[in-house]
Amino acid sequence: MTDIKQTVVEKFKSRQALIGIVGLGYVGLPLMLRYNAIGFNVLGIDIDDAKVDKLNAGQSYIEHIPAANIAKARQSGFEATTDFTRVSECDALILCVPTPLNKYREPDMSFVINTTDALKPYLRAGQVVSLESTTYPGTTEEELLPRVQEGGLVVGENIYLVYSPEREDPGNPNFETRTIPKVIGGHTPQCLEVGVALYEQAIDQVVQVSSTKAAEMTKLLENIHRAVNIGLVNEMKIVADRMGIDIFEVVDAAATKPFGFTPYYPGPGLGGHCIPIDPFYLTWKAREYGLHTRFIELSGEVNQAMPEYVLGKLMDGLNEAGKALKGSRILVLGIAYKKNVDDMRESPSVEIMELIEAKGGVVAYSDPHVPEFPKMREHHFELSSEPLTAENLASFDAVVLATDHDKFDYALIEAKAKLVVDSRGKYRTPAAHIIKA
């Protein structure tokens, strides 16, 4: 038992191990680049042929990851494949697959379960399996453990199972994969030891917790903390607006307090693959224990109502100009879920576009990071990004600032747009034709 564990640990420490990363998206790709940069051979496994072909050709499909980085990795021990039989070659299998919600706002575990089932026949002694996907406490024990052990392997003795949640923040220049501390929990102490050996090579600080459940709950608390505080400030925005107070001025002033306050800023709703989704994982699991997570559900309600609030402000502005939304041409600025990235997942901008269209508005968008509206699971627009020229801006009845990319020319927007609905507080001393939303 000790021999297997020691052999695996030594393989990671000497960087002789082959790292397998399953799911090559916003989480998997940066992790691949980090392991590759420090001398590991990395095998990327994905079910998407197009992604695998692009990566093997040294191309990138994520804006903030340059193709040059992929090409360099290809020359130094990185390969992508759709062939799951190659799982047996890997010493570590790091699962970075999506965990969305279904239409009933319940966890959709199909990606995690199907991926684990696909790995199952090719697992062998001496491997460590790490789940990074955000999920409810108990997933690693309930879903992965029995599947990993199905073929006769024993977790903690000859194969190792850990949970270590991803903490990527795309587009944030202050943090990268290496510098973001990594939380890890093992199914057994032996599992934890092997998991730490895997991650401490690549990450500056590894934070150990007592179990996979504790690690799963840690990730949820981080994102619930954010969701609840954004819900709070979104509610405060509505109150402040009624009272004629600028909420951004208030948050900035409160943020000068050097203790006991963390600034959160309001917006048009929550986006991304974490904050709008993860709280509902805990809500769903808590029901099993007869608990009702009121804070989480309340903040979810407030945040989900924000696109409707922005729509109301748009209709008010058009009304002041003697126009109806029906038949008006509306330009939505920024459709990625946050500034300076091309990630569209759960973007509130898309919901705003759908609300405008449902009311009879003619919708268009401009986003320097998203030249074509992508194919999405639930939303569909046959649109391309509009150029932000003086003439084009003037041709729309209103523009809705939904995502405040740095690439936008805000002075030009202010000068040429007939009506601006600002959901990001970009215009702090707004002119008469700018409405705060």
Please identify every residue annotated as catalytic. 274
User: How far is residue 91's CA from residue 320's CA, in Å, rounded to a whole number?
Assistant: 65
User: How far is residue 85's CA from residue 285's CA, in Å, rounded to a whole number?
Assistant: 34
The answer to whether residues 310 and 400 touch, using CB atoms and an 8 Å cutoff, is yes
Q: Give the number of C-alpha atoms closer than 13 A to the C-alpha of residue 369, restricted to the C-beta side.
A: 24
E-strand spans in 164-323?
A: 182-186, 206-209
Paired sense of beta strands 159-163 and 182-186, if any:
antiparallel
152: left (phi over 0), alpha (psi -120 to 50) or beta: left
User: How far is residue 83's CA from residue 70's CA, in Å, rounded to a whole number?
Assistant: 20
260: left (phi over 0), alpha (psi -120 to 50) or beta: left
284 to 137, 231, 270: CA distances (angstroms): 11, 19, 19
Residue 409: how many other CB atoms lie within 10 Å: 13
Nearest to 88 by CA among 125, 130, 122, 48: 122
Cβ-in-10-Å burial (0-12, 13-18, 19+) of 189 comes to: exposed
